[in-house]
Structure 1
Amino acid sequence: MLNVKIQTFENCLYLLDGRFNQLHTLIVDLANVHRPYKILNQGDLPNLKCFSFSHHLGTSLYNELILPLLYRMSNLEQLSLYLRISFRQTFIDGNDLKQNILNRMSRLNQFTFYICSSMIIHNQMILPSTEDIQRTFIHFPINPIVSYVDYFPEAKRCQCHIYSYPSPVDYYDEITNNFPGGLFTNVRHVSLFDEEHPFEHDFFVQIQKSFPFIERLGVFNHKPQNSKPSYQSNTNQSLDVIKYSFLNVLNIINAHDDYIEQFLFDTKTHFQNDIILYIKYECLERVTNNFTRDITRRNCAKIKTLRLDDAGAYFADDPHKSHNYTALERTNKTHVMFYSKVTLDKESVQGLASKRLVAVSKGFHSVFSIF
């Protein structure tokens, strides 16, 4: 058995160029799928019985590269595919899998998959519904299969998720409001994405229940929430407080302020562990009212590392703003890492580093450092 993480599809082809003729199990986690620079050995792989292929950044070369690779595995018995496929003319559905995979592999007896395919919406297109996609799996030999379709008419884009359930993968990307639910005990990394519809509090309740062991969470949504009752203290019992027992990384850089409130308000969210927080400094300052807002103190106290993508631009404009940091309610060190294309000027860097940003407000203090 060989289990590898590799950078390019060409590296994968090198592994299968004949040097491992007796290999029976191959597990590949691939970073990039590009056309190889040269044609390598394309011979059959008769001894390969089990193959797992993961690539979740997205490729448009499914038909050109991935399917031909599978066709070399004539005696394959177990296959796992975890793919994001972009710029399709049609969605990958049950009919596509039967025609291009199952009918070509007579010995295959176990097939698990998670595939998200996307299309550009053109005028006069007939777009399949979730029900249309699900019907293509009626006579599929593997059950149960979950499918759902997302449409983003403003962006002229649509995508289709299909996967065998329960899913064995440890990630689930681009979950939208159409997410059908379920329990995913293997998943550790989750990204939530919707270009045109807001995520309400109940949606986050569902996400936590479906992914109870989530460790890394990213939110991409610039639409404000429609339902925003005023919850001023954690004594208000009308809102379910979402408890994240295993979360240690939260990325809300590309999120509306409402979602920053969703995670920093202690009436909405509770962090069991200290977290690494990716966020824009300006948004963090605004939502926490310059780090003095009572309702954000408890969750801000759980931040062990801040990774700010806009702090360089913010402080370069006015070095004195560096002293505006106020309480994060921590007595130990909180690290702040600046990720910005704007370079801090020398005075700003010295001011931040030498002071270590010791900030005191209302009896609370925190220490920031740059590394």
Structure 2
Amino acid sequence: MSLTLVKLTITVSCLFDCLYLFDGRLDSLSTLIINVSYIFGPKIRKYSQKKLLKLKYFSLSSPKFTADYDNLIVPLLCQMINLEELKLYLLVERFDSTYFDGGIFYKVRYLTMNDKIPFEHKLFNVISEDFPFLEFLRICNDYSPKTKEHSLTLITFPYLTLLDLQDAHDDYAELFLLTKNVYLPRLLNLSMLYTSDIGPVPVQ
């Protein structure tokens, strides 16, 4: 495999089939897209001490549920310290809640969140802290948050300019647009759907 490869799209059966991509030999890689059928296995001990310094874009997709997000995905994300765009299309099984725990990504500007488990208020608080310079946020979730009461924690996305809620439950619009929940001082573009007598109407 070329050591000067800058973009790679790969489809594998199991995530372990492509772990060699993270051992540092592809140090010129800037874009990595992985489509995987199954994500399971023992916890990854530090597979590589070498950081993927040039990796700017990472996308990981899987159609199957996984209970090994913390054991397999988080250690890999911690190697990507210069990411600018991260897309995770995963079905994560958790016994308590849905949350993200992958470190702080100062260079990520674009984030898409997609799940079949409701996103709760505390998850967005974690996202705002782990992606402090996020500019574009897209939420894809048809399920209403289970907890709707007002939280004492005000979530701030100081650099967010575009919020895409077209594929999100209406309750996420309420969560983000009520200033008692979320503060968006630089928001310029909002994309969402609202239901009228003639059906769903796009708002941009």
User: Structure 2-normalised TM-score?
Assistant: 0.70
Compared with structure 1, are the counterparts of its residues 265 and 188 closer, same or farther at alpha carbon in structure 2 (3 Å cutoff)? same
Select the structure with the greater relative contact order (CA < 8 A; seq sep ≥ 6).
2
2:129 paired residue among 189, 203, 209 = 209
The total of aligned residue pairs comes to 184
Counterpart Cα distance in 2 of 1:114 and 1:141: 20
The residue number in structure 2 matching 1:183 is: 104
Residue 192, structure 1, aligned to residue 113, structure 2: yes
Give how far 1:142 is off.
1.3
Residue 245, structure 1, aligned to residue 158, structure 2: yes
- SS of alignment partner, residue 14 of structure 2: coil
Give how far 1:153 is off.
4.6
State the Cα RMSD in Å.
3.8
- SS of alignment partner, residue 250 of structure 1: strand
Residue 119, structure 1, aligned to residue 119, structure 2: no
Residue 90, structure 1, aligned to residue 3, structure 2: no
> What is the identity, as a one-letter code, of the residue corresponding to 1:181?
G
Rg bigger for which structure?
A: 1
The one-character-per-residue Cα deviations of 1:313-336 (angstroms, maximum 9, x if unpaired) are xxxxxxxxxxxxxxxxxxxxxxx6
Counterpart Cα distance in 2 of 1:114 and 1:178: 25
Give how far 1:80 is off.
5.7
Map of 1:343-354 to 2, 5 A cutoff?
Answer: none
Counterpart Cα distance in 1 of 2:108 and 2:22: 24
Give how far 1:151 is off.
7.0
- SS of alignment partner, residue 260 of structure 1: helix
Compared with structure 1, are the counterparts of its residues 164 and 171 closer, same or farther at alpha carbon in structure 2 (3 Å cutoff)? same
Q: Which runs of 4+ in 1 moved over 2 A?
A: 83-86, 92-98, 110-121, 149-154, 158-167, 174-179
Structure showing the higher helix proportion among its residues? 1
The residue number in structure 1 matching 2:194 is: 281
Counterpart Cα distance in 2 of 1:178 and 1:115: 23
Point out where structure 2 has 5 or more consecutive residues left out of the alignment. Answer: 53-59, 91-97
Counterpart Cα distance in 2 of 1:257 and 1:185: 29
User: Structure 1-normalised TM-score?
Assistant: 0.41
Give how far 1:197 is off.
1.2
Compared with structure 1, are the counterparts of its residues 211 and 267 closer, same or farther at alpha carbon in structure 2 (3 Å cutoff)? same
Counterpart Cα distance in 1 of 2:172 and 2:162: 15
Counterpart Cα distance in 1 of 2:140 and 2:166: 8
Query: Does the 8 Å CA contact 2:37/2:63 hold for their aligned counterparts?
Result: no
Query: Does the 8 Å CA contact 2:139/2:164 hold for their aligned counterparts?
Result: yes
2:179 paired residue among 255, 266, 271 = 266
2:50 paired residue among 142, 145, 170 = 142
Counterpart Cα distance in 1 of 2:6 and 2:42: 23
Counterpart Cα distance in 2 of 1:219 and 1:130: 30
Map of 1:1-371 to 2, 5 A cutoff?
Answer: 67=1, 70=2, 76=4, 85-86=10-11, 88-91=12-15, 93-95=18-20, 97-98=22-23, 102=25, 110=27, 115=32, 117-120=34-37, 128-129=40-41, 131=43, 134-135=44-45, 137-138=46-47, 140-143=48-51, 153=64, 161=73, 162-163=76-77, 165-174=79-88, 177=98, 179-194=100-115, 196-229=116-149, 231=150, 238-282=151-195, 310-311=200-201
Counterpart Cα distance in 1 of 2:120 and 2:146: 7
Point out where structure 1 has 5 or more consecutive residues left out of the alignment. Answer: 1-66, 103-107, 122-126, 232-237, 287-309, 313-335, 338-371
- SS of alignment partner, residue 198 of structure 1: coil
